Amino acid sequence: MPTSRGSCTGSGVLLGLTFAGAAPKALIFREPEDILTLGALVASRLFGHDIAVLRLSADEYDAVAGQENATISAMRLRAGPLNLALDPVVPSALHLNETDREFLSGAHGEAVRLAMEIITTMATVQGAASLTDVTRVHIDGCIYAGPAFLVFARRMADLGARVRVPTTMNAISVDHANWHAQGVGEEFGLPASQLADAYVEMGAHPTFTCAPYLLEDKPVPGEDIAWAESNAVIYANSVLGARSIKHADFMDLCIALTGRAPRAGVYLDENRAPRRVIDVALPRDFDDAFWPMLGWLVGQAAPDRIPLIRGLERTTPSRDDLKALCAAFGTTSASPMLHIAGITPEANLPPTADADHLTIGAAEFARLWAGFNQGAAAVDLVALGSPHFSAAESAAFADLMEGRTVHPDVTTIITVGRGTLASIAENGVQARLQAAGVKILPDLCWCSISEPVFPPSARVLMTNSGKYAHYAPGLSNRAVRFGSLAQCAEAACSGQASSALPAWIARFLG
């Protein structure tokens, strides 16, 4: 495969495949790739499950891909007439300071030694010459996507792992305090909560949100951080101007234990410049559905490079609009950031010399609308909060539901972080939403929710999230409808989604 894209969770999924005896024997990449590479590294160093990982030049990759079989040994790749020498990854050229060397020597314990060994190996893979200090970490590996995640966390905790920098936690897979009462079975709820507890035991803060940029303490421009969770990384780089590559699950903990990360990728000024310029034809009188749709389309148009979006200079997107855009972008692009001319803080960076040019117009929006609305018109679940809703989004939905109630055949759920829940409880928004029949769930998010919290009887869900519209068919095995927040409120009250193309897209098509 050329590279990977999407969720940072892929490293843990690969580790789980090794435990199940279903992992690939080898992974062969053409482009830079960190997430699956890290999963293979953890499988080998901590658990003795070896997966060969190769990165070839474009010509070598194309030649190997044309063969029916390949044989890989420690030093050679043979495929048909090809006989390629392999160079092992050796971090000998990496500059380490005295503390780094202490970590590697085991002077600070076995967990830290393993963490630094993984960091230095990945730094070499990424072409880093040195490591950088980070001020904060966001853990993505606390989502229970299978037993491998708990096995890893428990192994590190039992080895005495403790974080050295402030560390927040992603949404988890259960409402930590209420999963028993919600009918979640012990076979899932117990390991999911134990996984969260393991990270708290190691010193992480139980923030349990996939939107750490909504927390009161957020990164500032130029700050080196180490975040996992793809939407958070993209938002931090693009909107806040902080610096983090898209760290894979497990790498996040390794960095939290050491406070050190490979100085590579978008930690470096020269790697933050756009390599594709995308001109967007701006429709008139568009609604909030425009932003997640644009993010998805831009990601599809720039799956492997940082884009500069032009044409939005006269718009004034809210932080929540940009949140929706960044999250949807992360579902279709492997890039850790984007620029929006006139809006994001580094949009004046000159494009690279090899930057190319694309356009996005009405036809692309119309096709995506059709693709996002494959479900029937009858809706029985409205799913909001992917990424977690902010206090402002919660208030906006409460305004839309004022004087109305959720239809008896529809379940309407908003997922939020604990900080947002405390805020809307204090300002009365939570009570207003609940009076309208809206359920509010903390700790978990739609990408980690499961039955019975996800209503088992639901067949068609509606969301305003481009991220969830992309992932929901595969994650939930349900059909999807997509629309603006107002359209979601209408579906919540009527049980029906409009089949008409939104007026702004219809006008856009002319």
Nearest to 446 by CA among 213, 232, 117, 173: 173
Query: b/e per residue, 124-133, with b = 16+ CB within 10 A?
Result: bbbebeebbe
Nearest to 289 by CA among 412, 415, 464: 464
445, two tokens: 């998010």
Task: Compute the CA torsion angle 426, 429, 431, 432 (nearest 10 deg).
Answer: 160
Catalytic residues: 7
Helix (H, G, I), strand (E, B) or coil at 256: helix
**Placement of tokens 């700790």 in the chain:** 443
Instruction: Decide: 195 and 172 in contact? Cβ < 8 Å.
Output: yes
Instruction: Decide: 236 and 221 in contact? Cβ < 8 Å.
Output: no
Rg over CA atoms, the chain: 23
DSSP secondary structure of 17-29: HHHTT---SEEEE
- Axis-axis angle for helices 290-301, 319-332 (nearest 10): 30
